Structure 1
């Protein structure tokens, strides 16, 4: 074989390879499947071009996965986080979630090949994950606010942002209206409680029950809204940890004893176990049998999600001041919320499991079992 023929064969092979990469790469094919594009602006103020309409969505933020269901665009999901796939409530609401790729495991850990092969028109992500996608792919990325200091106004802004991205503004406003009605209900019921009679609440996460959310986190506003006080208000916890435990920090047992909270909210183990623990027995919440498991639904409630923004303050207000909410069916409001906002009719057992935190246990157990 002559050198000229070898050269021609090598040239042809390279041409075929480049042709495939350019015209048949999943990212390129995704763009070619659309005749139109539009310009969107993300929550960081970045303007960029996306397909119009958006048909395939990669949601790469754990707490944000529920937004697809709130806006009714779950059928457009092509990739999600592993945590959302492991959510037992999501599996019950939307069994198809089990078959979707889960390229994002934890913050900063993304299987890029799996993400590209899912062929998304857009990826929704926080700072760390979004930058990885931008650096390693040509997939358009909409950055969201993923800080632990997000308040209720931030939640509304985020939902409206998603409503614009997914062209579902009416669904976004429907959620905002529901959130505002619940906030108004709580405020009307708790506004006359004297400061000295407001319940002091400590959230004790992890097996030690000493990991908490401080006064600089989103939880401060939610506890205040419920008519209570955050025992850890003077503690700053944002920036103490990163990744899965961002926004959380550990305090000492001596500090909790000094705070002597009226109510203790836990997310690990059962209240009955803590009642028997001698190192906790002198705390008022233990003496008065006021230990509760934190609710959990589509996602865990120690993150600033749209779901927990509605349910957690209402739940806490009702357990702190049962007399003020005796003619209100919390279970009924939870059912209405999921029916009107998620288009899903909860059973009585599912409501029970949400308010007792059973779904958090099921979710985290599933993640651990997958390694």
Structure 2
């Protein structure tokens, strides 16, 4: 055998050795895992392939960021909305949220380059944002049923969908059982209240307090679950786009005076600002000092979120009928909810800040400060 042939065989052996090592290395194993896929169907009935397992999640729906914490997959988040990043409660409990990209500001406004750089395995969003991502990238998109008309059954369906996508069905069912338990508690305490004695509630948002949620929104169900009456039941607001978020509509002061609500829920200013206001002073809620700030936690409660579905009816019912809830510590139940469902150990002040709407005030200040 010639020397030249021996050298060639030696070179070939070394080459094959290193080639085998490369294909047998952990990096190669990880590549195989990354290339593994499964087929999922989103809430619009679209079927497509995603990485299996899903390790990097971009949640681009405003109210839905909280679902990652409910299902315990917050460590898989690679991109979120700017609104979630500005959530004071999230920043207090999960400071790492500040380091995540926030490519989605408002509906339809997405920084595509920032989203691509976050390298998500999947994007979950509503119609408008998801459509943009599909058009401009190759990232798999799962569409949600994002409507202001979402009721409790829709919330359950959405949570189960997330549980299916992230393979955390046990956590999803844990939330649903807690939701059903809380609603049953509230209904048990309020179901026998005669129609004529049920409290009428008006939600007056914005600085004017004349923006409200209509009877065709999720809030109709929330108020009824609390044993109350929605003063704005006849107002139709879903689909309106006159400078307002879908589900919100403007009413006149004359209409509010005619409704004469027993309870007024606001999300701007302080209750004392209305007690001596000439336009509002003749309303029953003002005269009886039954003005309350809208609660807010991870997200504002004037959107159909999984968080508000549990807390809002309990909060409202306890304020409307305190004698029927005098044996219940509502702040204690709020702490229990976040501990059992979010794995958040709130302190007493944080629980009260949720119920008093402090987190919405802080969020709105953050939005203004960012311009």
TM-score using structure 1 length? 0.91
How far is 1:277 from its partner?
Answer: 1.1
Q: Deviations over 1:313-342 (max 9, x none)?
A: 000000000000000111111000000000
Tell me the distance in 2 between the aligned counterparts of 1:207 and 1:303.
18
Deviation at 1:124, TM superposition (A): 0.4
The corresponding residue for 2:352 is 352
Q: Matched residues in 2 for 1:245 and 1:355: separation?
A: 24
User: Residue 320 in 1 paired to residue 300 in 2?
Assistant: no
Separation (CA, whole Å) in 2 of partners of 1:213 and 1:36: 45
Which runs of structure 2 are paired with 1:281-320 in the superposition (5 Å)? 281-320=281-320
Note the C-alpha offset of 1:369: 1.1
Match of 1:79? 79
Kindly state the Cα deviation for residue 35 of structure 1 after the two structures are TM-superposed.
Answer: 3.1
Secondary structure of residue in 1 paired with 2:327: coil
Moved over 6 A (4+): 30-33
Q: Does the CA-based 8 Å contact 2:33-2:52 persist in structure 1?
A: no
> The residue matched to 1:78 in structure 2 has which SS?
strand
Aligned residue number for residue 36 of structure 1: 36
| Structure 2 match to 1:276 | 276
Q: Tell me the residue number matched to 1:222.
A: 222
Deviations 1:220-240 (A, max 9, x none): 000000000000001101112
Counterpart Cα distance in 2 of 1:329 and 1:335: 10
Tell me by how many angstroms 1:276 deviates: 2.1
Quickly say closer, same or farther: Cα 1:355–1:226, change in 2 above 3 A.
same
Which structure 2 residues correspond to residues 19-58 of structure 1 after superposition, within 5 A? 34-58=34-58
Evaluate the alpha carbon distance shift between residue 351 and residue 244 of structure 1 in structure 2; reply closer, same or farther with a 3 A threshold: farther
Change (3 A) 1:114 1:243: farther
Q: SS at 1:280's partner residue?
A: coil
Whether 1:234 and 2:269 are equivalent positions in the alignment is: no
Match of residue 197 from structure 2: 197
Q: CA deviation at 1:53?
A: 0.2
Name the SS for the 1:64 alignment partner: helix
Aligned length: 342
In the alignment, is the contact (CA less than 8 A) between 1:201 and 1:261 conserved in 2? yes
Please name the residue that 1:249 is paired with: 249
Cα distance in 2 for residues equivalent to 1:333 and 1:235: 33
Residue in structure 1 matched with residue 213 of structure 2 by the alignment:
213
Matched, 1:142 2:142: yes
Q: Deviations over 1:243-289 (max 9, x none)?
A: 87221010000000000000000000000111121110000000010
SS in 2 for 1:270: coil
Partners of 1:287 and 1:253 lie apart in 2 by: 16
Counterpart-to-counterpart distance in 1, 2:31 and 2:132: 20
Determine if contact 2:281/2:287 at 8 Å carries over to the other structure. yes
Q: Report the equivalent of 2:176.
A: 176
Q: What's 1:103 paired with?
A: 103
Report how far residue 370 of structure 1 moved. Answer: 1.2
Structure 2 unaligned regions, length at least 5: 1-29
TM-score for the superposition, normalised by structure 2:
0.91
- Verify the 8 A CA contact 1:241 1:248 in the aligned structure 2: no
Determine if contact 1:204/1:210 at 8 Å carries over to the other structure. yes
Taking the aligned partners of 2:74 and 2:328, their CA distance within structure 1 comes to 32
Structure 1 residue 116 corresponds to structure 2 residue 87: no
SS at match of 1:245: coil
Secondary structure of the corresponding residue to residue 339 of structure 1: helix
For structure 1, the residue ranges without an aligned partner over 5 or more in a row are 1-29
> Is the contact between residue 179 and residue 310 of structure 1 (CA under 8 Å) also seen in structure 2?
yes
Tell me the alpha carbon deviations over residues 138-165 of structure 1, each in whole angstroms, 9 at most, x when there is no partner: 0000000111000000000000000000
RMSD of aligned Cα (Å):
1.3
Is 1:93–2:83 an aligned residue pair? no
Q: Secondary structure at the match of 2:63?
A: coil
Q: Secondary structure at the match of 1:206?
A: coil
Alignment partner, residue 362 of structure 2: 362
The alignment partner of 2:311 has SS state of helix
SS of 1:327's equivalent in the other structure is coil
Find the residue that maps to 1:279 and give its secondary structure. coil
